[in-house]
Structure 1
Amino acid sequence: MLEKIFKWILTIVGFALGYAATEIAKNWGFINSIIGTSNIYRIGFISIAIILFGIIFYIVSPFIIKLIFKLTGFLESGIQKIPTNDIILSVLGLIIGLLIANLLITPFARFLAGNTILSIVGSTLTLVVNIVFATLGVNITLKKKDDLYNVFTFLRRFSKDKKSKADSKLGISQPKILDTSVIIDGRILDILKTGFLEGPIMIPSFVLEELRHIADSSDNLKRARGRRGLDILNLMQKELMLPIEVVERDFENIQEVDSKLLKLCQIYNGKIITNDFNLNKVAEVQGVPVLNINELANAVKPIVIPGEEMNIHIIKDGKEAGQGVAYLDDGTMIVVEGGRRHVGEVVDVVVTSVLQTAAGRMIFAKLKSAS
């Protein structure tokens, strides 16, 4: 359909060029001698020229259209290889460069416009200055793009609080972007089922690609973890009512998946859900909000206080002499003084102290019978 439209447009262009050619040909002496002063001959000459040019353009239009499509395809393939951010910055630099060039050269061009020779010099100078400043604008913005990103990040941080308040009033929820570690972990499925997190839930395509590579690994442990992550994603799509979106966006100029996640989160003004300690710290430095599954797990563990009694099952020996080790349902470790001789038994203990570590919470207790 598009080719037919272009073909008729080119044919109309041929008609117009045919008429323009007759206007030029009227100034030629031998043409005037042929058609004379007769209006009929003039109309016939114009009609023949218009039809002839129209037919020529209609015949050659497929070749012109093919050439145009090849040229646009070549330009499009070249542009697609350039990151979108670089294109935006290049256009911004181009506009700024042209504005500065015209501000500088316009007074000189007006001054030189009075004389024919000087006006030619002014036009040439205007063209050269525009080209130079446009090139400078593009080059400077691309070379300083990291600094510009930092400026935009600062402005985003500055307006983040106001935007968050406005979004909360409107009932708009920030997107939650999952990283590879939290998908493999699997607890995110249970958390989302409880309804404590609002959507939309975003899964970047490069995270899916990383999961696929892990699932295809020759290492049995890695392969099992990757397949578990893919199974978790399938269950999320089948069992959850929240909108789950696969984001088909990649950053070819960025190699690390964590850096891509941070960039994607900044673009969508979202939050990263992870249990990766390093990603958590880098995100905090860059001002990207993070929801850490491990921190959530520590926050919801049962609170115990010294002197509280518990009924536990001691399952193994402790590191120190005489100690026994038990676990709560959430995985919290309980170290029992004098519990080694009761390994395999269910006993009553009294909490003596609670220690909070980076790995989680540890409870120290002693046998109730010994107190």
Structure 2
Amino acid sequence: MALGFSLGVGFLPVFLELAGLDDHSFLSNEVVMGIIGAIIFLILSSLTYDYFAKILKKIEKFINEQSLSDLIFGSLSAIVGLLLGALLSIPLYSIKVAYLNIILPSLMMVVLGFIGARVGTTKTEEFKKMFAPRPKKGTEEILERKAGEHFRKYKILDTSVIIDGRIYDVARTGFIEGTLLIPKFVLYELQYIADSGDSMKRVRGRRGLDILNELQKEPSISVEMYEGDFDDIQEVDTKLVKLAKVLDGIVVTNDFNLNKVCEFQNVPVFNINALANAIKPVVIPGETMDVIVMKDGTERQQGVAYLDDGTMVVVEDGKHFMNEKINVIVTSALQTAAGRMIFAKPSHSQTTINQ
């Protein structure tokens, strides 16, 4: 309305003069012209408010997703580009072609300002290096390495790996470097599970919230919250993949399907189950171990036992030793996507069967 009032006072008399209505004393009043302009702009603003609100929301979301260094260097470089464009466009004002002496300088300033902003955001590391203190002699090779080439700061946790709980022990040992990032939508999903009417889900959700509190209280672990969200995406897994792309982070999960989706979209992923399988003790055919046969196997006469770490042991003729602790000899081991599987046979099976 303020803009409309000022434009009404400045330009409406000109239009009235062209229309031949400037003889009316009522319309020639500056206050009336200003009120008419304010009313026109009030109507226009009410019609276009939603459109401009969406544009501002997208701009705000884009700014929130950028790092502080990119914003600072991008802004400074854009200002330098605009100043350079203003200097280079001075000769263009002398062009005698109508409007061309206005369009060309404006275009040059916009182009150079955009180029400056792009240079500032893509060359952030080089700018930091220019202002950084000179390294001591003999340390140039270490300090010259770009952290972004071999290190991603954010490790983005999904719901399943938080509920699982092993991420706390792994992070506390220091094997995961950088910052553990907890997205707001993952926290909401944990809260939803903790408030579920299903008792099993409720226990799992509360366990996940407890793990988050333990992670945050651990002084040796860096934990941050991500307050942003992707309103156009409904699935939490899809949001995690999108966030990892935006932040150049790594998704940490033990969800097999999410692992495959991340691999397909070239998003780095840490799978806690894969880590657990990798550090399990290697068994060699011929080794012996003590196991308790827990249940029948899928094949005839087979029995199934489990090691302390959850590894499945398929025992030949194990059906004869149900719920008994027996000594078995490893015959082979199979590594699958779900984990390691060991095949064995009782070391005293022949004697026991004969008896």
| Common topology (TM > 0.5) | yes
Q: In structure 1, what is the equivalent of residue 46 of structure 2?
A: none
Q: Report Cα offsets for 1:119-149 as digits up to 9, x if no partner.
A: xx537x9569979xx9xxxxxxxxxxxxxxx
Q: Secondary structure at the match of 2:252?
A: strand
- Of 244, 247, 257, the match for 1:268: 247
- Taking the TM superposition and a 5 Å limit, the aligned residue runs for 1:275-354 are 275-354=254-333
Point out the structure with max Rg over C-alpha: 1
Query: Structure 1 length as normaliser, TM-score?
Result: 0.57
1:184 touches 1:229 (CA, 8 Å); kept in 2?
yes
Report the alpha carbon displacement of residue 75 of structure 1 after superposing the two structures with TM.
11
**1:122 equivalenced with 2:102 (yes/no):** no
Identity %: 52
- Of 182, 201, 210, the match for 1:231: 210
**1:81 equivalenced with 2:57 (yes/no):** yes
Residue identity matched to 2:153: Q
Report the alpha carbon displacement of residue 363 of structure 1 after superposing the two structures with TM.
0.8
Q: CA RMSD in A?
A: 4.4
Report the alpha carbon displacement of residue 364 of structure 1 after superposing the two structures with TM.
0.9
2:330 touches 2:344 (CA, 8 Å); kept in 1?
yes
Structure 2 spans left out of the alignment, 5+ residues: 1-48, 67-73, 111-121, 123-142, 351-355
Structure 1 spans left out of the alignment, 5+ residues: 1-72, 113-117, 135-151, 153-162
Report the more deviating stretch, 221-230 or 337-346.
221-230
Q: Going by fraction, where is helix more abundant, 1 or 2?
A: 1
Q: Report Cα offsets for 1:202-225 as digits up to 9, x if no partner.
A: 111121112112222233333222
Report the more deviating stretch, 256-265 or 206-215.
256-265
How many residues align? The count is: 260
Residue identity matched to 1:356: Q
Q: In structure 2, what is the equivalent of residue 167 of structure 1?
A: 147
Q: Report Cα offsets for 1:39-95 as digits up to 9, x if no partner.
A: xxxxxxxxxxxxxxxxxxxxxxxxxxxxxxxxxx9999665522546679xx99xx9
Report the alpha carbon displacement of residue 245 of structure 1 after superposing the two structures with TM.
1.2
Report the alpha carbon displacement of residue 303 of structure 1 after superposing the two structures with TM.
0.9
Q: In structure 2, what is the equivalent of residue 250 of structure 1?
A: 229
Distance 1:108 1:200, change over 3 A: closer
- Taking the TM superposition and a 5 Å limit, the aligned residue runs for 1:188-207 are 188-207=167-186
**1:218 equivalenced with 2:197 (yes/no):** yes
Q: In structure 2, what is the equivalent of residue 52 of structure 1?
A: none
**1:185 equivalenced with 2:161 (yes/no):** no
Report the alpha carbon displacement of residue 111 of structure 1 after superposing the two structures with TM.
4.6
The 2-side partners of 1:164 and 1:253 are apart by: 40
The 1-side partners of 2:166 and 2:56 are apart by: 38
Q: Secondary structure at the match of 1:302?
A: coil
Report the alpha carbon displacement of residue 356 of structure 1 after superposing the two structures with TM.
1.7
